[in-house]
Structure 1
Amino acid sequence: VNRFLRLTNRASSRQMEEALALTGTDHLAKAQMSKLSGGEFQRVLLARAILRTPEFLVLDEPVQGVDFNGEIALYKLIEDIRTRLNCGVLLISHDLHVVMSKTDRVICLNGHICCSGTPATVASSDEFKSLFGDQAAPGLALYEHRHDHEHLPDGGVVQIGDEDAAADSSSGNKPGTTTGTRVDA
């Protein structure tokens, strides 16, 4: 794993250690890439992507080869990294449930951009309905996420506009930060 991370020739040992720790793979530093599980492999790829604290991450099917519980954990990790690094994320996925429930903006492609906007806007568009049928949208978990609040460790939510919340805000997530998403139909 360390050898794989060094291929970029631009990261210090400290940066590699931090990236592995952030993705929960620091115990794999001396492991062979070929011996990693699907989830471990994807986390190491994510560690490599964040080595130099990017402003924007492009993640193409980041949960490929990962079991269901691993997918949930990996999507949570991506969310945490996005907040911690205050970076944008372009997530390319065919998993419409994740796309519609975990993103701010959706771009639906089918050889061209057929529709784009918030998940609710896309799900109600004629183009989306013609691709997936009228029954697809009601079955999807739609959740419009706004960055006008802070998620607390205990599960609570505090509005960022609240003076106390603004003083306690530790995520660095700026209101209006969005996660871009592309769905290939």
Structure 2
Amino acid sequence: MSAPESDHSPLLDARDISLERGGKLILDRVSVQIPPAEVAVVIGPNGAGKTSLLRVLLGLWQPTRGQVKRRRGLRIGYMPQRLQIEPVLPLSVRRFLTLRQRAPRAELLAHLERVGVPHLLDKPVQSLSGGEMQRVLLARALLNRPNLLVLDEPAQGVDIVGQGEVFRLIDDIRRETGCGVLMVSHDLHLVMAGADAVICLNQHVCCTGRPEEVSRHPEYQRLFPTADVQGIGIYKHDHNHVHDLHGEVHDLDDNGTGGSHGCGHAHHHGQGRPKR
């Protein structure tokens, strides 16, 4: 495992990222900064651009506009949302873990032990349950001894008990190694409870800040109207526009209701945390 970081500069700093693909605007002026040893969570509805943002941050896609700066020597461990493996492909967990890089059996066992599944080393990948597969994917991400863990829906296909275990495991690893964590998830309650910062995305950054701040933000509540925010402190934020569930922006008229005009911003999206 990596030693905790002594350098406090951002692991990753993305400024004003816009992305267009196939003539469609997917991301609009998104800014994200990931400090070491902190957990940042990107939340948003389906189609909000969460996975696209990760691909840009990882360097897999080039943004149409904006810039992504990564700390020199940054090592990233990536855990994808889904992994399609042909059911007839003879692939053991051991072989799967070493597809991208060689590692001795002892090291593979150590990482599997860390995520609680050393007994799976020689099992066929196709025989794994959803929870087992997520742990194996996490072990693979740790093989690179990352400074930054990037996790796309890490509890995908896992039952509610298993989800809590996965998130606790991620938090334990972060505390032990000092790595930063950037996570995309729709499991709002579980991930927001352990986050240092939450970025609410709907093509652009709707709001960002600590979990209790974002949970009380009107745009978060508009996007997730059934979310239970009991027990989380009230957060107020001056705003002169609202966003509907389709991402459309409407100015507030004198009565505080949304009109059908363009967007007049009362704040700069994605820059720092909201004022309290």
Q: Same fold (TM over 0.5)?
A: yes
1:18 paired with 2:129, answer no
Identical aligned residues as a percent = 49
Unaligned runs of 5+ in 2: 1-92, 234-276
- Partners of 2:203 and 2:128 in 1: CA distance: 35
Unaligned runs of 5+ in 1: 144-185
1:100: Cα distance to partner? 2.4
- Partners of 2:153 and 2:232 in 1: CA distance: 20
8 Å CA contact 1:123, 1:129 repeated in 2: yes
Residue number among 96, 107, 129 corresponding to 1:37 in the alignment: 129
Corresponding residue of 1:60: 152
1:74: Cα distance to partner? 1.2
**Aligned amino acid, residue 138 of structure 1:** V
Corresponding residue of 1:122: 214
Corresponding residue of 1:96: 188
Larger Cα Rg: Structure 1 or Structure 2? 2
> Taking structure 1 as the reference length, what is the TM-score of the superposition?
0.70
1:126: Cα distance to partner? 2.7
1:121: Cα distance to partner? 1.6
SS at match of 2:156: coil
1:112: Cα distance to partner? 1.1
- Partners of 1:102 and 1:5 in 2: CA distance: 28
| Alpha-carbon distance change, 30 to 142 in structure 1, aligned in 2, over 3 angstroms | farther
1:15: Cα distance to partner? 2.4
1:110 paired with 2:202, answer yes
Residue number among 215, 229, 233 corresponding to 1:138 in the alignment: 229
| Alpha-carbon distance change, 76 to 126 in structure 1, aligned in 2, over 3 angstroms | same
SS at match of 1:138: coil
> Taking structure 2 as the reference length, what is the TM-score of the superposition?
0.48
Deviations along 1:39-85, whole A, 9 cap, x unmatched? 11000000000012111101111111111221121111111111122
1:64-79 maps to which residues of 2 (within 5 A)? 64-79=156-171
1:137: Cα distance to partner? 5.6
- Partners of 2:202 and 2:209 in 1: CA distance: 15
**Aligned amino acid, residue 217 of structure 2:** S
SS at match of 1:57: strand
1:29: Cα distance to partner? 0.4
1:10: Cα distance to partner? 4.1
SS at match of 2:229: helix
| Alpha-carbon distance change, 74 to 123 in structure 1, aligned in 2, over 3 angstroms | same
Corresponding residue of 2:66: none
- Partners of 1:17 and 1:132 in 2: CA distance: 41
- Partners of 1:138 and 1:119 in 2: CA distance: 10
State the Cα RMSD in Å.
Answer: 1.8
| Alpha-carbon distance change, 123 to 5 in structure 1, aligned in 2, over 3 angstroms | same
**Aligned amino acid, residue 60 of structure 1:** D
8 Å CA contact 2:148, 2:181 repeated in 1: yes
- Partners of 2:146 and 2:232 in 1: CA distance: 29
- Partners of 1:55 and 1:30 in 2: CA distance: 28
- Number of residue pairs matched? 141
- Partners of 2:232 and 2:121 in 1: CA distance: 38
